[in-house]
Amino acid sequence: MAKRQDLATRGFGGEPGIPEVAELASWIALHRGSSADLTSFLLDASLAPQVEARITHPCAGGMFMQNRFLESLSGVKDTQVIEEIGVRIDPFSEDAARVVVQNRNAWCALPAPDVLGITDRYYKDKDEWTEAISGVYRTVLREMRDAGVSGHVLICDSVDNEVVRMLARRNVFFFHLEPDRTSLEILLEFQKKVAVTNDQVAKVIDLAGEYDIRQIIILEPDSSAITLALSHLEPDQVIGGGYCIGNGMEYWKNLVKNSFFETT
């Protein structure tokens, strides 16, 4: 008789969606006396269903954290960098404390620098700009880790070799929803693990001869993708991953339900 073996699961945050006014008002009433805004609400809403669904490695946050950056950056006007860039760190410290209260092992997902939607009009040199914005990120990530967040997911639309080199660490993971081969190669050069959709697993396996692949996170995995990954990696190296758009409870429960393989 076949025996079910569960895989570990990992969240990469999500986009809970803007709440109804009554729902937001009720939430604010519960948090009266603390610093809380719409981004704070979305942070809570992105993490809570993962915790309830028992995701092994939950992650708060998502692309909506772009607003937190844009509100906190100095040297930026109307999305244009006009002087030396800096960051007001207190809002991120408060976000980290909020995350840790829900789950002390949680990570936090933030938009990568390329997703912020800001344009350099000050440094006018790609290397200087990359160093400057990476320095801002290092400050934010360090502050949030000091406040208890276990690590960070950086959600990117493109994979810049220099940005990944400067920021990728054991507790910083670059996440691209649809990486091409070049993007996968850059990611695997620096972080030894990658998150891909079911149809991209074969592409990652094809790179196994060139890169030291220690983990594949399969987004919303199906049985065939899991089987293929397990033909090259050990079970503890294959993870079921998710990035939820909208109401998350059923999504995360289904992720746990579908992240398994069978043995005889």
- Domain spans of the chain? 3-263
Q: Per residue of the chain (264 residues), what is the pLDDT tens digit? A: 689 999 999 999 999 987 777 777 777 767 666 677 889 999 999 999 999 999 999 999 999 999 999 999 999 999 999 999 999 999 999 999 999 999 999 999 999 999 999 999 999 999 999 999 999 999 999 999 999 999 999 999 999 999 999 999 999 999 998 999 999 999 999 999 999 999 999 999 999 989 999 999 999 999 999 999 999 999 999 999 999 998 789 999 999 999 999 987
Reduced DSSP (H G I as helix, E B as strand, rest coil) percent helix, strand, coil of the chain, to 5 = 45, 25, 30
Distance CA 145, CA 151 (A): 7
CATH class label, 3-263: alpha beta
Distance CA 139, CA 141 (A): 6
Neighbours of 222 (CB within 10 A): 13
